[in-house]
Amino acid sequence: MHSEVDVVVIGAGIVGAATALALTRAGSRVAVLDRTLPNTAGSGTTAGNLHIQTIHTRRPGQGTAVDVEQLLPLQKSTSALWDVLDESVPGLGLNRCGGFMVAETDEQALTLQTKHTWEDAAGIPTEVLTGDEARRALPLLGPSVTAATWCAWDGFAEPDLAGPALLRQAVAEGAVLHPETPVTGLDRVDGVWHVASPAGTWTAPVVVDVAGPWMARIAAMAGVSLDLVPTSLQMHSLDAAPGALEVLVQHVGEGMSIKQDRRGRLVLGGGWPAGPFHDHDAAPTLAESTVGNLAQVARLLPSLHRDTPTDTWTGPVVTTPDEMPVIGELDGAPGLFVAGGTYSFTFAPLWAGVLTALVHGSTPQLDVSTFSPARLTQLTAH
């Protein structure tokens, strides 16, 4: 099979799905290729939080801290774009429940004050509360909570709904999806990319590499070495009565997030590490991550604590050395664009809009040059 399109999107996770929809709506003929079944890797296994207020700067075990202040303008922009998508994409699973960011020490409380100043400057509404004020607003909070910030814009999107809904809408509007179609070759001939797979070849002037943990592998096929590292994170769920927790709760100093999904499960995230990334199988779980995550629930939300989780699972992500996002065109590979890294789930609609602007030769509404892949790029023999 051979097909000519305007853009080949490699990766049908939430960023790929949102990008395919945005490109299709901009008039491009789009083919979406996924190595397996869409939404079965990172996007479908994440906790699905929408990080609008600033969160902790480090996952458990993470060395380099995230420059969270620098990301706030992006978070404000993507927040509005999620609302736009919710109006035009059926079954997105968006829940704007609002969220508390809690502190347990004086140092963490000071961090809340600092981030509130940054958020105010970025136009993101947050309110600083004492521990007692936070417990009056959310009586479930334990006595160790000394302060909190509240952000009504926080929330989550159900990860098993959001990506598939975006992909269905993209296909309904004209994109063509090719699941279980791994890319095996990527060559540029006379200004046109040839994307090879066992199912055939696609030719297009533009390729968008949003393959998550496999982004660097795709770029390498085009002769570009990207300094990206696939890793795996661990999530948990706990049983709870319906309506037990109606907001998102996170910790400003530790890897912690908890909310109740539509099934009634309490879903715990926060970036706790899983075992080593595996190319085909899910990474193994780590007992120490389970113990650590459950201990947080016991302190912060003691009435919701359970001794053992009802389920534990792992999911892959891709990280950069500076723990920041990456988006833009690759040096030495004209027409080959990438997007991913930190906050990819939250930033999916924003990255979709930025990529669409770049593909069509226009200037994105938000300056993302700081996150260019040039900082991570090395050309190789090809």
Looking at residues 136-147, what average pLDDT do you find? 98
Calculate helix-pair angle for 159-172, 14-25, nearest 10 degrees. Answer: 30
Q: Is the pLDDT of residue 381 over 70?
A: no
CATH class of 2-43+160-228+322-379: alpha beta
Q: How many CB atoms lie within 10 A of CB 191?
A: 8
Looking at residues 192-206, what average pLDDT do you find? 97
Q: Is the pLDDT of residue 81 over 60?
A: yes
State the Cα–Cα distance between residues 306 and 328, nearest whole angstrom: 44
Cβ–Cβ under 8 Å, residues 282 and 41: no
Looking at residues 326-338, what average pLDDT do you find? 97
Looking at residues 144-158, what average pLDDT do you find? 98
pLDDT tens by residue, 253-263:
999 999 999 99
Q: Is the pLDDT of residue 74 over 70?
A: yes
92-111 core/surface letters (b: 16 or more CB in 10 A; e: else) = bbbbbebbbbbbbeeebbeb
pLDDT band at 84 (very low <50, low <70, confident <90, very high): very high
| Strand-pair category, 155-157 with 49-50 | antiparallel
pLDDT band at 379 (very low <50, low <70, confident <90, very high): low
E strand intervals along 133-209? 147-151, 155-157, 176-178, 185-189, 192-197, 200-204, 206-209
Predicted local distance difference test score (pLDDT) of residue 378: 81
Closest CA to 36 of 5, 6, 61, 12: 12
Query: What dihedral angle (degrees, nearest 10) is formed by the CA atoms of 237, 242, 247, 250?
Result: -20
Predicted local distance difference test score (pLDDT) of residue 279: 87
Cβ–Cβ under 8 Å, residues 210 and 9: yes
**Which phi and psi angles does 283 have, rounded to 5°?**
-65, 150
Taking the domains of the chain in order of start, what are their residue ranges? 2-43+160-228+322-379
Predicted local distance difference test score (pLDDT) of residue 42: 86
pLDDT tens by residue, 233-258:
999 999 999 999 999 999 999 999 99
State whether residue 234 is helix, strand or coil: strand
70: part of which helix (H) or strand (E)? helix 68-88
Looking at residues 330-354, what average pLDDT do you find? 97
State the Cα–Cα distance between residues 193 and 335, nearest whole angstrom: 8
Q: What is the mean pLDDT of the chain?
A: 96
Q: Is the pLDDT of residue 286 over 60?
A: yes
Predicted local distance difference test score (pLDDT) of residue 127: 98
Sheet strand arrangement including 200-204? 2-4, 200-204, 192-197, 185-189
Q: Is the pLDDT of residue 177 over 60?
A: yes
Predicted local distance difference test score (pLDDT) of residue 114: 97
Q: Is the pLDDT of residue 270 over 80?
A: yes
Cβ–Cβ under 8 Å, residues 229 and 218: no
Predicted local distance difference test score (pLDDT) of residue 63: 87
Looking at residues 294-304, what average pLDDT do you find? 98
State the Cα–Cα distance between residues 261 and 126, nearest whole angstrom: 23
Looking at residues 19-46, what average pLDDT do you find? 95
Looking at residues 53-67, what average pLDDT do you find? 91
